[in-house]
Amino acid sequence: MIAIISVLIILAAALTAVTYRVRNSDQILPGIRVAEIELGGLTKEEATQAMIAANWNARGDAYVTAALPAGYSVSVNTRESGAIQPIDTMVEKAYGQGRQGSFFDVIPAYLNGLQGDYDLYPETMALNEEYIKSQIATCIDTMYKALSEQPYSVDMENQTLTVVKSANGLVIDQQALYDLIVQALTEGNFGQIDYVVDESQAEDTIDLQSIHDAVYSEVKNAEYDPSTGGATQSSAGVDFDVEAAKELVRNASIGETVVIPLTIQNPQITTEELNSKLFANKLGSMTTSYSGSSSNRINNISLAAGKINGLVLNAGSSFSYNQSVGQRTAAAGFKEAGAYSDGQVVQEIGGGICQVSSTLYAAALYANLQINNRTNHYFPVSYMPDGMDATVSWQSPDFQFSNNTSYPIKIVTYCNTSSQQLTVEIWGTDETGNHVEITSQTSKFYDQNYPTVALGYTTTTYRNVYNSSNQLLSSTKEATSTYHYHQENIVYPSSSEESSESDEADSGEG
C-alpha cells in the first residue's frame, strides 16, 4: 500500500507539474493544428505567422459552389458562412486548449496533442444557417424565373441561336442541397460540389415557333432614302429550321443551353458600302441645244428639266417621264409652243418637252440602263442624232427606263441660258468600268406607187458596250426608228415624167 500510495503521489505531482507547465507556457500545446496547419509548440506570434504563410485569409475568400440547371449555381462564401474565422480568433482558440479547468481537463488535451491528431478547424466554425439558406433560395428562384421566361440569344457572328431548355415541375431539394454545402464547409472541401437534380417530373415548355417568329427577318439591302439623302440601314436575313431545333432540344437536359444553327443571309449592299459609293460616278450624259427656240419653248424645257432634276431611282426601280413631269397644263406653268401631233406641226401647251425626254433617253443609253418604253418622233428632230430621240405626250406615248444597276442612280439636269443648251446626266456607281457607244444604220423607204420618191427613212441603232481596255463586250440592236419627210419636202414626178417612167418600166420587163 505504501508503494502504491507513493506511486500515486508521484503521479499526481507529475500531472500537477504538467498542468502548471501547460498553463504557464507561452506555447500552444503540442499536436494542435487547424486543418493541415501545424500550430503545436508555437507561440501566438509564431502561430499567426504560420497561418499567414499558409494563406489562411485566402480561404475566407473561397466558395462552395453547387451547379443547378440553366447555368445557375449556388455559391456560399466561406467567411460569410462562418466556416472560416479570422486568424487571431483561430490562434486564441488554439492557444486556449488545455488552459482551462482542472488537470483532468488539461491532461486529456495534452495527451491528444501528443498523438498529433487534434484538429481545431471543425470546432471553430460558427455556421450562419440563415445566410446559407438565403443563398440557396435566391439562386433557385432566379433559376425558376429564367426557365419560365425561355431566354434565348442570337450570335450573328457565329451564326447560332442559343436557348435554354425550360421546364415545369423541376424539383430542387433545398434541404438536401443545404446539407451538402454544410458537409463541404465542415470538411474544408471548398470549390465545386456535386448536386444531382431530379428531372423525372419536369416537362419541357420551350416554344420554338414563337422564338422563330421573333428572330426571323428578311435580308434588307441598303437603299437611298430621299428624306435623309443617304442610305437606309441594311440588315441580314435570319432564319432557322424549327423542326431540327425541336430535335436538338428534345435531346438536351432541362436547363441545358442548346445551340441551334442559324441561316444568315448577308445584304449584298450594306449601309456603309452604299454611302461610300452613292452617286460617285457619272454613268452617262447628253447635251442638246435649244438655240433659236421661242421663249415659250425654252420655258417648257426648263420646267420639265427641273421636274426630273435630282430624281433618284433605287436599284430595280423604274422611271416614267409622264409620271415624273406630270400633265402639261397652263396651271402647271407650261406654255404653248411648236409640237408634232398626228404628223402635223402644231402649237400646243408643253411644246418642246420632248427635247428633255430625248436628251434623257440618250443619257440613259450611255449609262447602259434598261429601256422599257420609247417611241421616236414622226418627223426627225434637229437637236438629236437620228435614232436617239424619245417623243412623249400625255398620257401616251411615255418614255420609261429601269435602274438595272446594283446601286441608286440620280438624274441631274442643267439649262445653260448663255449657251442655250440642255444637259442631262445620270450619276450612280460604276461597277464595271465599261462604256457605251451608239452606232446606227439608215435606209430610205419609198412610195409604193412612185419607187423613186422617198417618203422618209429608218434608222437602226445599236448599243455597243466596251470594257476599260476598249474591247467590245457586246453589240445589241437598240431600236428601229422610222422618220417621215415633211409633205412639202416630198417631190413627186410630173405627169410626163410618170409616162416616161412607165414606158421605161414596160420596156425593161420585155
Q: Which range, 75-89, 180-194, 313-327, is most confident?
A: 313-327
Neighbours of 404 (CB within 10 A): 15
Q: How far is CA 392 from the centre of its chain?
A: 45
Residue 301's identity, in one-letter code, is I
Mean per-residue pLDDT for 66-71? 84
Same domain, 302 and 439: yes
**91 falls within a domain:** yes
CA distance 119 to 98: 14
Give the pLDDT of residue 502.
Answer: 39
Residue at 504 is within a domain: no
In a domain, 232, yes or no: yes
Residues 366 and 335 grouped into a single domain: yes
For the cut 90, the answer to whether the pLDDT of residue 401 exceeds it is yes
Residue range(s) defining the domain that contains residue 363: 279-495
pLDDT at 510: 23
Q: How confident is the model at residue 143 (pLDDT cuts 50, 70, 90)?
A: confident
Same domain, 409 and 436: yes
User: What is the SS3 assignment for 272-294?
Assistant: HHHHHHCCCEEEEEEEEECCCCC
Q: How confident is the model at residue 144 (pLDDT cuts 50, 70, 90)?
A: confident
Determine which of 272-286, 337-351, 456-470 has the lowest per-residue pLDDT on average. 337-351
- According to the model, what pLDDT value does residue 508 have? 26
438 and 329 within one domain: yes
pTM: 0.56
Q: Report CA torsion sign: 288, 290, 296, 297.
A: negative
Task: Work out the percent of the chain whose per-residue pLDDT is above 70.
Answer: 87
Q: Is residue 204 part of a domain?
A: yes
Question: Do 357 and 223 have their domain in common?
Answer: no
Q: How many other CB atoms are found less than 10 A from the CB of residue 479? A: 19
Whether 99 maps to a domain, the answer reads yes
pLDDT of residue 68: 87
- Single-letter code of the amino acid located at 244: A
Average pLDDT over residues 408-420: 95
Q: Which pLDDT does position 150 carry in this prediction?
A: 67
Domain for residue 154, yes or no? Answer: no
Quick one: pLDDT at residue 344?
A: 63
The region that residue 255 occupies, defined by phi over 0 for left and psi between -120 and 50 for alpha, beta otherwise, is: left
How far apart CA 80 and CA 63 sit, in angstroms, is 10
- On whether both 247 and 373 belong to a single domain, the answer is no
Q: What are phi and psi of 102, to 5 degrees?
A: -80, 180
Helix, strand, coil % over all residues of the chain, rounded to 5: 35, 30, 40
433 and 352 in a common domain: yes
What is the structure's pLDDT at 40? 85
pLDDT at 5: 75
The single residue listed with the C-alpha cell 440569344 is 153
pLDDT at 30 exceeding the cut of 90? no
| Domain shared by 338 and 426, yes or no | yes
Cell of 215: 428572330
Whether the bond into 397 is cis, omega within 30 of 0 = yes
Instruction: Give the three cell numbers for residue 361.
Output: 433617253
Any domain includes 157: no
Residue 115 confidence (pLDDT) above 60: no
Per-residue pLDDT at 209 exceeds 70: yes
Q: Which residue, of 67, 96, 127, is where some domain finishes?
A: 127
**430, pLDDT greater than 60:** yes
- pLDDT tens sequence across 223-253: 888 888 888 999 999 999 999 999 998 888 8
pLDDT at 16: 58
Are 305 and 251 found together in one domain? no
What's the rounded mean pLDDT across residues 431-441?
Answer: 95
- Residue 319 inside a domain? The answer is yes
* pLDDT averaged over every residue in the chain: 86
From 79, 108, 127, give the residue that closes a domain: 127
Query: What are the distances in angstroms from CA 197 to CA 140, 169, 443?
Result: 12, 12, 93
292 or 69, which is more confident: 292
Set of cell numbers at residue 123: 470546432
pLDDT digits (tens, 9 = 90+) for 315-345: 999 999 999 999 999 999 999 887 766 556 6
Where a domain ends, among 69, 95, 127?
A: 127
Closest by Cα among 78, 73, 83 to 195: 73
200 and 332, same domain (yes or no): no
Q: What is the pLDDT of residues 334-383, one digit of tens each?
A: 998 877 665 566 678 888 999 999 999 999 999 999 999 999 999 999 99
pLDDT value at 499 more than 50: no
Q: Are residues 434 and 335 in the same domain?
A: yes
Q: How many domains does the chain have?
A: 3
Q: Is the pLDDT of residue 61 over 90?
A: no
pLDDT band at 504 (very low <50, low <70, confident <90, very high): very low
Residues 406 and 469 in one domain: yes
* Average pLDDT of span 168-186: 88
